[in-house]
Amino acid sequence: MLPDRSAVPVEETWDLESVFATPQDWDAACRDLLGRLPTLASYKGRLKEGPSVLLEFIPLYEDAARLMGRIFVFASNASAVNALDQAAVGRSGQARGLVARFGAAVSFLDPELVAIGFDTLRRWMEETPDLRFFAHYVDQLEKQQAHVRSGEVEQVLAMVSDPLSTPFSVFNSLTGADMTFRPATDPHGRTLEVGQASIESLRTHPDRTVRRTAWESYADGYLALKNTLAGSLLGAVKADVFRMRVRGYSSSLEASLAPNFIPVEVFHNLIDVFRRNLPTWHRYWALRRKLLGYDEFHVYDIKAPLTGDKPVIPFRQAVDWICAGMRPLGEEYVGILRRGCLEERWVDRARNRGKREGAFSSGSQGTHPFIMMSYADDVFSLSTLAHELGHSMHSYYSRRSQRMIYSRYGLFVAEVASNFNQAMVRDYLLRTLTDKTFQIALIEEAMSNYHRYFFIMPTLARFELEVHERVERGAPVSADTLIGITADLFEEGYGDEVVCDRQRIGITWAQFQHMYMNFYVYQYATGISGAHALVAKVLSEGEPAAARYLDFLKAGGSRYPLDALLEAGVDLRSPQPVEAAFANLAGLVDRLAKLLG
């Protein structure tokens, strides 16, 4: 049974007190931020007065943004680990409201810079050396000026960000607090609690009855609320379409990719390569069915262990192995990572009732990184920890190296850093832990990782594109429509090798909060592709490639994403890295077949 949050050992939780010691201190910070907004707003209409006024405003803006970040991290993180804590949920909603008010107060910045003119801004920067750091921001704005609205419209867009985020709040409340699941059962009638913090470990359970009943219970819990969940998702999609139209983009896809300076061809190249390589997945499903000795292969068998010995990996052991795997990046990198995990309590690893599904890394300039996950002492948890530490170390270096305006990086590069860590650690373990059982477990984990990022996520990206296009043209969409679209896409992906329960597979769209992040999921697949290319360079070239990779982490948002990756050593404008990643996937299937005869 999952324990209540109050019963969790403190060493398994993150140290939110390092952000604010008490909720009362958080309240005081909120009042402080509100007190700063009139000063920020007083610069409206004044930036044209000259570079000295702009130099006054930017530090005030950055300091307030830093405080806003700390306020949001404290509130959102507390609610993520315990949706049953109503006070924490309330603070999270309050923080979203503050983000909207802050955004509205500074919404004049971009329209006024556009009005000043880019030739004038560049002259100011040439004449005022202290302003030269602003050059990349100005260059980005010039490229996006066609989609910058008037000051009044930008203010409204900032103000509506809070109500337009309501669908995401509804989703989190439903899935984290209100949704209930039947217990899973084993062949002897014993029960195991199904919850967001336990479902992943149940999906990898050695007993097929446990896996089947857990998978069915989890899907049925979502199906019972399919209409509410569909209404919530459609609210989020309509918000995406609203923003797309207000900003003058041709599609929701372009509206998501263009602000990160990613051509839409990158998305379509990925989907094309994915569809061409589906036979690799079909071969893997057939191999798994044969190895497990099943007449029929079901979705709940995809993560079934192929050996009877499941390696037990305590948290400290996982940290040691991750540090060893990342050693090519240098002692500083490893030392920061180890302190974060074992001394500074970056990681909330407890499995408790009310905790959100999945895993994430968060933080802001002025805090250390934070990682939420549910650690289950297995190789899958080790891999998840490595992935989130990739995000966290990216954030650590970016925030330490860049000013506030450049300390945040785009999601496109974020998933390269996270998958880089997984691939580095996996390579180290495959080279050093030669026990056959452990090798099999490592390849199973690798295939599970690929399954999530190179099968599930591209399939959901196709679903996301279809749903957005339907809403854009005003076509009717219902819960059953969403289930049907998802089932069709997964049936294509599974081919004839996997038995498809259309309703339970079709509700997969409702199980991922990523669906509320406009065209996020495709970046997992581009990320894993870029990561494998960079890992190959670090392992073959050594220190020079490692130094380029660390420069990439430190760059934050100060470079265009595709340019930063190219300087690190991979060109994701081309489909070639995705093709190479699929070749690596096919090699893992061959290696698994050889290990198991």
Which active-site residues does the annotation give? 388
CA-CA distance, 556 to 559, in Å (whole number)? 7
**Neighbouring residues of 145: CB distance < 8 A, sequence distance ≥ 6:** 114
83-93: b (≥16 Cβ within 10 Å) or e: bebeebbebbb
Contact 328, 314 (CB under 8 A): no
How far apart, in Å, are the Cα atoms of 375 and each of 305, 340, 357?
18, 16, 12
Instruction: Give Cα 22 to chain centroid, integer Å.
Output: 28
Helical packing angle, 118-127 and 109-116, nearest 10°: 90
Strand partners, 499: 298
- Please give the DSSP secondary-structure letter assigned to residue 355: P
**Whole-number Å distance between alpha carbons of 479 and 125:** 53
Angle 585-588-591 (CA atoms, 0-180°, nearest 5)?
155
Q: Could you give phi then psi for residue 548, rounded to 5 degrees?
A: -65, -40
Spatial separation of the C-alpha atoms in residues 499 and 123, rounded to whole Å: 65
Is 252 within 8 Å of 472 (Cβ atoms)? yes
What six digits make up the tokens of 42? 């007083």
> What are the φ and ψ backbone dihedral angles of 184, each rounded to 5 degrees?
-75, 160
CB 587 within 8 A of CB 581: no
Of 367, 396, 414, the residue nearest 74 (C-alpha): 367
